[in-house]
Structure 1
């Protein structure tokens, strides 16, 4: 559906014709249309359309545009930054107009949502700044699920400040991070209901030990399409007593170099040691079909850091765990 800009409504009367039973045409005002009907119509609109000026058409449309049903999930997974890579931190330069568009959408969305957003989804390649993230956190204090974008422009101060606000956070999807303790510590300290984590990137013993020490109550963990250290996998199977669901589909497990070989070995089939420890889980999701599975092939080709931009749009949203699946 095409959204008419505010200028159109300023030049045209907010009226429409209906036919009564006696076949006489009756002029009605759009602002008198039932709010529930307007909300159902607006549910078909994208975030761009909802923030394009609809709320300024009339008071009735403003009320409908602020309905919590429209903003329970703020899905920005269709927005990607226009950027170029640079050699110095943050290793990307985001084009100004692209940044301004994101800021505008966030401000308008947060204004209309009035704190009702409980799920926030960023595109994997949307380079959000500290200011944009904390602005959104301050205006969505009831957030329960967060799908984070790339880390490049998000600093420790920004993410920690946001986590302190999101005390109801239950689920986080995030790229791999070089130094995870500070983030996990903030979650452990502030988010008592946190039980679900998805990591998109290599999983090493340091990260596993961080989860074990700081988030022992974790119930769902997805490491799909990643390079997983064998010792790290054993560690979480032993050290996360409340873990119920573990997804390592399309990942490959790597045994660290031992002895004098100095060579890592890719595990093509899970051994009895891992399978026995995983038997206690309610769900243990695996796929290691390198010869037949396209995603397994892509993970190995990209060495555990899948270059999602090379593949079909939206592939990064998929997950075998239904509560983490975004498509």
Structure 2
């Protein structure tokens, strides 16, 4: 059986119904302990669970309806024709949030994010600790900050290639005092204005507890980087790849080397970067 979003990792019936034990005895998949079934199914994306796993048998459906299965929601693996199925995927995301019954702590969303969806999540997920958004072109700064203002326990935020102004970034920092990880990935310095420390100053002013910071393609300068180093004393991991206005010479280079455990420099390789294809497309 194959889903529209990914390859289904289990054999199709009737082989699905039996598992061969070492002594040659066969047992049904449906008879596996619920804890083991849950552990297996958590390795799937949320879309695979909703479109495939819960339809296998009654016992699996029961496991899939357990709110504990929805503490983490993964809406990234949307398949080749994600845009055509956008409304379906948004509805599935809302359904997954409903199943969590307020227990959602981590959610990843690619492409399908909207202001309405984010506020739907925020209104039902006050315990959310991690929110990762990527390529969500219809999300606005206003909608994002309205949602995040309700997520005061947030510790991990990614906003990659989505709209988020520096002023809105300040609101994020003020609303989320426990924020420890920020990934704010932009389209790079090939767009006007070519230099801007607005993001860096907003981070320095409102996010003093950051430990991990990724500013891929940001327009900050050495002055903005100094402000971050001055005001984020716990910073351990700093990714400045494609931040081409940062030069890291002299005292600034020394400060970064002494203060930051893991430093990715502006001209370091982007190999392994999850949005490498998007970056290459922007350069063409």
TM-score with structure 1 setting the length: 0.64
- CA distance 1:103–1:295, shift in 2 (3 Å): closer
Runs of 4 or more, structure 1, over 4 Å off, are 16-19, 23-26, 53-59, 80-83
- 2:37 is matched with 38
Q: Distance in 1 between matches of 2:171 and 2:254?
A: 30
Give how far 1:144 is off: 0.9
Measure the CA separation in 2 of the matches of 1:184 and 1:164: 11
Structure ID, larger Rg:
1
Deviates more, 1:270-279 or 1:220-229: 220-229
Question: RMSD over aligned Cα, in angstroms?
Answer: 4.0
The aligned residue for residue 118 of structure 2 is 133
Work out which of the residue numbers 235, 251, 254 in structure 2 matches 1:273: 251
Q: 2:233 is matched with which residue?
A: 241
Q: Which residue of 2 aligns with 1:263?
A: none
> Residue in 2 aligned with 1:215?
207
Unpaired runs of at least 5, structure 1: 4-11, 84-94, 256-266, 299-304, 312-327
2:90 is aligned to 103
The structure that is strand-richer by fraction is 1
Query: Where in structure 2 are the equivalents of 1:1-327 lying within 5 Å?
Result: 30=30, 33-52=32-51, 55=54, 60-68=59-67, 70-79=69-78, 97-123=84-110, 126-150=111-135, 152-175=137-160, 177=163, 179-189=165-175, 191-201=176-186, 202=188, 204-248=196-240, 250-254=241-245, 267=247, 270-287=248-265, 294-295=269-270, 308=278, 310=280
The match for 1:88 is: none
Shift of 1:195: 1.6
Displacement after TM superposition at 1:164 (Å): 2.7
Equivalent-residue separation in structure 1 for 2:93 and 2:171 (angstroms): 27
Residue-by-residue CA offset, 1:109-152 (whole Å, 9 max, x unaligned): 223333332121122xx042211221222233321111112353
Q: Provide the residue aligned with 1:7 in structure 2.
A: none
Unaligned residue ranges in structure 2 (runs of 5+) = 4-12, 189-194
Instruction: Tell me how far 1:219 sits from its aligned partner.
Output: 2.6
Deviations 1:77-112 (A, max 9, x none): 2227969xxxxxxxxxxx5x4221222221332233
Quote how far apart the aligned CAs of 1:170 are: 0.1
Q: TM-score, normalised by structure 2?
A: 0.72
Q: Distance in 2 between matches of 1:229 and 1:115?
A: 41
Distance of 1:153 and 1:18 partners within structure 2: 46
Task: Write out per-residue CA displacement over residues 169-219 of structure 1, whole angstroms, 9 at most, x where no aligned residue.
Answer: 101111365622234324423x23212111112583111111122222323
Question: Shift of the alpha carbon at 1:57?
Answer: 6.9
